[in-house]
A and B are shown apart, each in its own frame.
Chain A
Amino acid sequence: MIVEGSNLIIEKLPKIRTRTVRSWTPVRAPDIVGLARSRALRRCPGRELAPRSLPVSADRTCHWCHSTVSATAITHLRCFSAENTDVSQPRLSVAVVGAGPSGFYTSKYLTSAVLHRIEKANDRNDKRDEGDAPALAPFDWSGIDIDILERLPTPYGLVRYGVAPDHPEVKNVEHDFAAQFETSNNNPSSSLSFFGGVEVGKDVKLSALQSMYDVVVLAYGCQAADRRLNIPGEDLEGVLSAREFVAWYNGHPEFGHIGTIVKECLWGSSDICDVDDDQVSTAKVVVVGQGNVALDVARILAKGKRGLIETDTPSSVLEILKGGASHVSILGRRGHVQGAFTIKGDSHRTMLRAKELRELTKLNKEGHNAKLIIRRGELELGMNDSSVAELKGASGRPKTRIDILLRDSAVSETDNPKDEAPKTVCLRFLLSPTSIEAKDSDGGRVGGVVCERTRLEGGPFKQNSVSTGEIETLPADLVLTSIGYKGMPLEGMKGRDQFDHQQSVVNNLHGKVTGDNNLFASGWIKRGPSGIIGTNIMDAKDTVKSIMMFIEENGRVRDEKDGRRGLEKYLEAHETVPIRWENFQAIEVAETDPARLRNDAQPREKILQITEMESIAGILKQ
């Protein structure tokens, strides 16, 4: 075979060399030779190196762009293709429990760490042939297969069920996560698989997973429970956690019942069909806590149906919100300076953030008929010498911006901002709830929140709020506690050893779960329920470092693990039908079907029942 004049592009990163080939030649490693179907230059992300020689005598498949080129023609040579099937070396099998941001970022970085390690091992071995570098310890695996297990039929965790519907840009990260299936599965040495509708602890035992896989990563977050206020009256009707409220307005299939409670609080016994779309509920809502979740729920209640009509808020939720609530108070125990977000903030403290605050200040301007009220007096109360000191320095910059933002919006006692808009959102500081009172007319239902005025004491960054004895009772028809999510141990976690019940996280050191096991942790269940989506990036890298250390140290001490095959057999034996990625795609298609949407701008109408999701996904469950 003679191929005249074709350009052989040999990529040896980072430089690119070219030479012209006149005939078929065996191509030696570390030259990277690829075969592409079309003449269009396509950039392949691969960095894999060839094993020894590549006799080009049969049809080859480029592992990066998946094109097949027959042996009779070489067109463009772009990317590397090799059949590095060294069957004596199995692949690392990993199970990730939880398909939220931490699960996806851990999969992403672990895959690239393993592939990079394989590349280094091959690279050094090749150099050794040429007499260059000293030998690197061999890597015991030839690839990596990751299975992401998720309790719900749908992945993405709080990105789908936590991020507010009027923050669609924050949900963009879903594209990155979905793309990982493509990237991983386009590489011959890695693969990623989704198992939805599989609950670890129930559908598959944690111990079974640990024996089926080389590595198990717990990334299931903190959505199981709430931090409690632990004050009398917390269990009255009409007292919910913000977590439950958020899950409801985001269409979480297990929180539909919250809608009934919210409806009763906002509209009493009125028939919801008799309530006008723009009718504002006279209910008073009190939110305890000032983190981003607290500000989210206040904003959703202020915007109501009209303000959310073009978001992915489920229609049934809008039918209950109608015109929104006339009065929402957001209470903070400390001053505004202490509550303001800093990157090194303590995980259990509330954190006011500029973005959500700014949104609240713009509510009226943007036509939502809701005004943000901040009492100047309460800002002054919190500005003692220690607070002034806390505004200085590097960590003071974000706090200073929040201080300025709040002052710009503040009103004095004599102003009457209620005249400006039918709905008000009131940010209150230095108030600590001590008990929740029932209504006079209904002893089982919430009527008000009794608060104590607090005062700040202590040096900068060490201030505590202490009670002054002054009482203020805020009338309330709905109370939403927003003081933190809480993690729970998985069924099967060994008693107190593996779970820290104080911090409500898994016991771990840099992501390695304590004890002689192959368990790791990532995300909120590792570090506590704090931080934003992006915080999981560094958290995942930290866990991945621990995993790499673990697998390098222990090598392959056991026989090859069953991994994905084992899980599939196990689930079949237990009559559990998992939802695979393509099944989930069917759910996505259904939710975004224009016939289902209330207007052109709505991104999706979420499916609210698990049984409906399963039926659309083509799954028959017992």
Chain B
Amino acid sequence: MGRSFASSLNTQGARRSFAQETVSFTYIDPTGEEFPVEAEGGKHLLDVAHDNNIELEGACGGELACSTCHLVFEEKIYDKLPPMSEEEEDMLDLAFELTDTSRLGCQIQVTKDLEGMTVRIPDDGY
């Protein structure tokens, strides 16, 4: 039988409703060009980049099987992000120019915490 409604609420009751939020922030590409965006709450940063025609590869389609959507955050924003899973950390180990405030764009959802931030797409290394 399926899970009871009550037990579903227990695990999901704490989840925020993202739908109403629209958050503004800026991507910076490796050349330094800025791309301000208006993003829908709950969307992943990789999808937001694609929606705005910003060049950010997501080779594995967001399934934690690559590190091509590597993004670098400002420290104060990084500290507010949800904790990294082991799987994400394993993939980040493979990323170029890894920093102490790096995360994978496919794992970070838009929330009000990101309002006004600047997120950097790191250089490829050539």
The answer to whether A and B assemble together is yes
B contacts with A: majority SS:
loop
Q: How many residues of B contact A (CB 8 A)?
A: 24
The answer, among B66, B68, B98, for a CB contact under 8 Å with A343, is B98
Residues of A close to B90: CB separation below 8 A:
353-355, 358, 401
- Report the Cα distance A541→B86, complex, angstroms: 30
Residue of A167, A172, A176 ringed by the most chain B CB atoms within 10 A = A172
Residues of A close to B64: CB separation below 8 A:
169
B91 on interface, CB distance cutoff 8 Å: yes
Is there contact, CB below 8 Å, between A170 and B66?
A: yes
B60 on interface, CB distance cutoff 8 Å: yes
Range class of the A interface residue count: 20 to 34
B65 on interface, CB distance cutoff 8 Å: yes
Residues of B close to A401: CB separation below 8 A:
89-90, 93
- Report the Cα distance A538→B67, complex, angstroms: 12
The answer, among A45, A169, A354, for a CB contact under 8 Å with B65, is A169
B94 on interface, CB distance cutoff 8 Å: yes
The answer, among A353, A533, A537, for a CB contact under 8 Å with B124, is A537
- Report the Cα distance A170→B68, complex, angstroms: 12
A532 on interface, CB distance cutoff 8 Å: yes
- Report the Cα distance A533→B63, complex, angstroms: 14
A-B interface pairs (CB < 8 A), number: 70
**B-contact bits for A138-173, CB 8 A (1 contact / 0 none):** 000000000000000000000000000001011011
B5 on interface, CB distance cutoff 8 Å: no
Q: Which residue of A lies closest to B52 (CB)?
A: A14
* Beta-carbon contacts under 8 Å, A347-386 to B: 353-355, 358
Is there contact, CB below 8 Å, between B68 and A534?
A: yes
Is there contact, CB below 8 Å, between B63 and A169?
A: yes
Given A45-B53, A533-B59, A538-B126, check contact A170 B94 (CB 8 Å). Answer: no
Is there contact, CB below 8 Å, between A343 and B124?
A: no
- Report the Cα distance A167→B64, complex, angstroms: 11
Residues of B close to A533: CB separation below 8 A:
59, 66
Residues of B close to A541: CB separation below 8 A:
124, 126
- Report the Cα distance A175→B63, complex, angstroms: 13
The answer, among A173, A343, A394, for a CB contact under 8 Å with B60, is A173
5 A-B pairs in the complex with CB atoms less than 8 angstroms apart: A172-B63, A343-B95, A353-B93, A401-B93, A542-B126
Binding site for B on A (CB under 8 A): 45, 167, 169-170, 172-173, 175-176, 341, 343, 353-355, 358, 394, 397-398, 401, 510, 532-534, 537-538, 541-542, 545
Nearest 7 CB-CB pairs, A to B?
A: A538-B124, A169-B63, A398-B93, A172-B61, A354-B90, A169-B65, A534-B68
